Amino acid sequence: NLVASVLEEKGYTVLLARDGEEAVRVHRENLGKIDFVITDIGLPKLDGWEASQRMKQIDAKLKVFVASGYLDPVLKSEMLKAGSVVLLRKPYSPNEILRSLRRALEDR
């Protein structure tokens, strides 16, 4: 995973999940140790948006970055209203992710 490799090179600890259910489980197992989540809207089992909402119910301050090639306008509006969400339009570069992360984490 290119993004994970770049984040690790920059000193971030990266936890990976194969699907939305696993992401929620990993978040619960590491509660208080996770500053942000990068997810894809199209995850199997539980989509990235629903998974991130479940994580935010547990940790309201969690920053969420949602990646998608296309977002339904209604869903996009819902995401932006929820707050603490950064939308990443695919394709994106690792540097774009790093810039977005820095901005979001500075705003904490």
For residue 4, name the pLDDT band (cuts at 50, 70, 90). Answer: very high
In the chain, what percentage of residues exceed pLDDT 90?
53
| Predicted pLDDT of residue 71 | 80
Report how many domains make up the chain: 1
Q: Which CATH number do you get for residue 93?
A: 3.40.50.2300
Q: Select the more confidently predicted residue: 69 or 28.
A: 28
CA–CA separation, 60 and 70 (whole Å)? 26
List the beta bridge partners of residue 68: 89
Contact (CB, 8 A) for 51 and 21: yes
pLDDT over 70 (residue 108): no
Average pLDDT over residues 49-54: 94
pLDDT over 80 (residue 84): no
Residue numbers of the domain that contains 53: 2-106
Q: What are phi and psi of 2, to 5 degrees?
A: -60, -45
